[in-house]
Structure 1
């Protein structure tokens, strides 16, 4: 009978010391895996990611350049159009109008297609946003108050710093115009008389009338964005979140999104053929000192606002690099520069805003609203034009007149959308309110408005993206996957999470 070599007290099935160590090691690995989340499975993806991070920068840019509608493609298209346009403008005295019109055809077709989907996008986005706001546990009215309040405050900041800068620096560089330059031609006199009808009280009346439309189909046909926005908010407030109409709205939004995705892919082509023909119209040789100072004052004010003041606010609230957010959102502000239309850029702006981490609910509410009332670039331009008209006549504005300009420019920037001819009309109104005669120099403002309008639009769109991020951070709204609460109720994405505390009374909804 063979003897057992195992120590006394241990049977043949008892594990050895080495086996115990192996078992304990396996248990430790399992616990570590369960705590860290399938650590073993993540090792390979981490290695792949490490390899991707070591890829040469030119390979990364090349891959990005191959992606249809990417920021790199749009930047290349814009840079190429500017280079060709400036080269032609400096070498050729005048470009025939027929050439300009023919070159503009591809860009104009793309812009028309983009504008065609803006209205359904605003309607579906606002309806869905209001429905989500009603379901927020923290009362969605908070989002509306913060958004509108932020827009008004930043508009005031834009106007105030522009007035200060224009009075201290730019007006001293402007020279008084001669008698011939101040003469008003017959055609310009007719234009000025038509626009003098828009006095401050007329602007207020027209703005409030534009809130409520008496013919919804007429507003749809004439792009009455403000009236459509209000109507969409009312529909979203009254709509049953679980009803069939709500499902139809969601399906329409999906369809619109597919169309927009295709248009964004061909955005570089559209941007190129929008920028190039407009640069053909630029006559650099005719730019005098006053004209250069007017353009410089407007662009400097927009630069100060969008690259210094707003980024300071953004960093103080969000604690992120604002310039990184702005650079990554290049497709939005480049498209805005090319189209000179915040409304036409709206699909791209919403896509870039959500790509920067803004919840869908916030983006669908703040961006369309900002497209209509957050006109920081326009607000900056008004004081520049009024001071330009005054200084070229030898008139120096006093403090009281600057206060009037601040108040009227704030009102005018919000009321720009419903007024025909946009900022050109409101410039006359503000100038008359501070007793500045409209002279032939107003024709200079008309001549360069198309050029400055592109920078105004890019400033407005950039400010909208910053605003969405700031409001999101302040209110703590997050996008979460729909899940089931402990009580069995479905929780929708984008719910507002209030600070921990006693239960809140949520009987009052938006």
Structure 2
């Protein structure tokens, strides 16, 4: 992520927005809160309009770029990355289902009806999406695979230019206004008397997510150790520089040089490391999936909404594909997943805003988990294809994404 363009950075802006929203909410009159709620509704409506375009704009060229590099090394790398991402999401679901009910009071977000102050916007402007999320996904896959198979250049350039348009819209409109949107959401919750219970629940959730990120990395390197017959904890220790670099940069792409160096130190051949690590910076999202699934499950429990394994299994399977399109922007994975949260889990605009705030608050830890896990994939691929990499052994820069 390029945080330098954001001044003090997006995470500090989000944290300041949350604090201001809570503080101002205690003294803000209802008429003022309604003004900010009007902005919140307008922004949320535009964000809903943009979500299908985010999917089409980023999934299409990603599928096209990966598809035309068909080969055994690529297929194995993609299969391991997808399996690891889905497994991370399923583990997050089972742990959340086991622990969250004892930590979270259902219907926390509803609040006592008699005490809550209704905050409604002065007016609404609906901006309907041109097509649904599932339509966007199917279209993106069809077009991306078609471009890869036909090896055409016109549609490829068009897809890449459309991706640039969507990315520019996110960078120049969504990201700068996102802190204001988060401020409005927490202001509304404070005026309505809901913010205290929500924050207490989220603090508990964040602690569990940090613990689970460590568990997932240990499990991944135990799996790698089965193939390479080495101590998994020594392997994981070797990758710690990449982990801490990702904590500071909050970017998979910016951490690639360190990840490459540490993967080679683990014994991965330079050819395999040079292919797998940049590719996994885009397609391996175990840490991001962990955060999204656990936060989504927590919000559903707060609402007292029904959930099930089949519901989340389908969501996780689609999520693992959708977030490979995470653009090179702060919080790209959560932005790309908003459509699935709304269409498959029924999340409202307020829920999506809370998801954004929670995700960005833990952004660096999810990125660090993603990056460190890239090493375990490189170890397994090297076991099968070391010294056998085909000619297309470098991934183009436009495949390298941020989360």
Decide whether aligned partners of structure 1 residues 445 and 216 sit closer, same or farther in structure 2, where only a CA change above 3 A counts: closer
Give yes or no for the alignment of 1:292 onto 2:226.
no
Cα offset, 1:143, TM superposition: 1.8
| 1:397 counterpart SS class | coil
Paired with 2:119 and 2:294, the residues of 1 have a C-alpha distance of: 20
Establish whether residue 163 from structure 1 lines up as the match of residue 74 from structure 2. no
How many Å apart are 1:348 and its aligned residue?
Answer: 1.8
Q: Distance in 2 between matches of 1:434 and 1:219?
A: 26
> Does the 8 Å CA contact 1:386/1:430 hold for their aligned counterparts?
no
Map of 2:220 onto structure 1: 310
Q: Does 1:150 align with 2:93?
A: no
Find the partner of 2:283 among 359, 362, 373. 373
- Which of 1 and 2 has greater Rg? 1
Inter-partner Cα distance in structure 2 for 1:306 and 1:209 = 35
Task: Name the CA distance, whole Å, in 2 between partners of 1:208 and 1:459.
Answer: 31
Contact (CA 8 Å) 1:199, 1:429: kept in 2 or not?
yes
**8 Å contact 2:249–2:364 — kept in the other structure?**
yes
Matched, 1:395 2:275: no
User: TM-score, normalized by length of structure 2?
Assistant: 0.60
Superposed CA offset, 1:36-91 (max 9, x none): xxxxxxxxxxxxxxxxxxxxxxxxxxxxxxxxxxxxxxxxxxxxxxxxx9xxx9xx
Q: CA deviation at 1:345?
A: 1.3
Q: Check the 8 A contact 1:195/1:428 in 2, yes or no.
A: no
Tell me the distance in 1 between the aligned counterparts of 2:271 and 2:235. Answer: 19
> Structure 1 residues 458, 428: closer, same or farther in 2, change over 3 A?
same
2:240, 2:117 → 1: CA distance? 41
Query: 1:332/1:342 Cα in 2 relative to 1: closer, same or farther (>3 Å)?
Result: same
What is the CA distance between 1:397 and its match in structure 2? Answer: 0.5
Gaps of 5+ in 2: 1-11, 21-64, 148-155, 168-194, 394-403
Distance 1:397 1:420, change over 3 A: same
Q: Does residue 199 of the first structure (1) align with residue 142 of the second (2)?
A: no
2:307 is paired with a residue whose SS is: coil
Deviation (angstroms), 1:305: 1.0
**TM-fit CA distance, 1:428:** 3.0
Pair 1:179 & 2:110 matched:
yes
Find the counterpart in structure 2 of residue 443 from structure 1: 353
Q: CA deviation at 1:409?
A: 2.1
2-structure distance, mates of 1:509, 1:330: 29
Task: Identify unmatched segments of 5+ residues in structure 1.
Answer: 1-84, 95-125, 134-139, 225-284, 478-493, 497-505
| Selected match of 2:246 from 336, 342, 349 | 336
Rounded to whole Å, the distance in 1 between the matches of 2:120 and 2:244 is 36
**1:91-137 deviation line (CA, Å, top 9, x unaligned):** xx99xxxxxxxxxxxxxxxxxxxxxxxxxxxxxxx9xxx9xx9xxxx
Q: Which residue of 2 aligns with 1:355?
A: 265
Which one of 208, 212, 217 corresponds to residue 301 of structure 1?
A: 212
Residue by residue over 1:189-234, the C-alpha shift from the partner in whole angstroms, topping out at 9 and shown as x without a partner, is 99x978997613314534665786316995998899xxxxxxxxxx
Spell out the pairing of 1:54-203 with structure 2 (5 A cutoff): 141-175=71-105, 176-179=107-110, 199-203=133-137
Deviation of 1:317 (Å): 1.1
SS at match of 1:169: helix
The range that moved more, 172-181 or 206-215, is: 206-215
From the superposition, tell whether residues 379 and 209 of structure 1 become closer, same or farther in structure 2 (CA, over 3 Å): farther
CA contact (8 A) 1:158 1:379 kept: yes
Larger displacement relative to structure 2 (412-421 or 290-299): 412-421
| Mapped contact 1:170–1:297 kept (Cα < 8 A) | no
Match 1:460 to one of 370, 383, 390: 370
**What is the number of residues matched between the two proteins?**
288
Output one character per residue of 1:491-510: Cα deviation in whole Å (capped at 9) or x when no partner: xxx347xxxxxxxxx9x999
Q: TM-score, normalised on structure 1?
A: 0.48
1:144 alignment partner, SS class: helix
Aligned ranges 1:161-310 → 2 under 5 Å: 161-175=91-105, 176-179=107-110, 199-206=133-140, 213-214=156-157, 288-307=199-218, 309-310=219-220
Instruction: Tell me if structure 2 keeps the 8 A contact 1:291–1:444.
Output: no
CA apart distance, 1:294: 2.7
In 2, Cα distance between the equivalents of 1:223 and 1:144? 27
Residue 325 of structure 1 is matched in structure 2 by 235
User: Is the 2:221–2:235 Cα contact (8 Å) retained in structure 1?
Assistant: no
Describe the shift of the 1:217–1:323 C-alpha distance in structure 2 as closer, same or farther (beyond 3 A). Answer: same
Aligned to 2:62: none
Instruction: Name the CA distance, whole Å, in 1 between partners of 2:119 and 2:280.
Output: 37
- Aligned-residue Cα RMSD (Å) equals 4.2
Describe the SS at the equivalent of 1:288.
Answer: helix
Output the CA distance in 1 between the equivalents of 2:241 and 2:382. Answer: 21
Greater relative CO, 1 or 2 (CA 8 Å, sep 6+):
2
CA apart distance, 1:466: 1.2
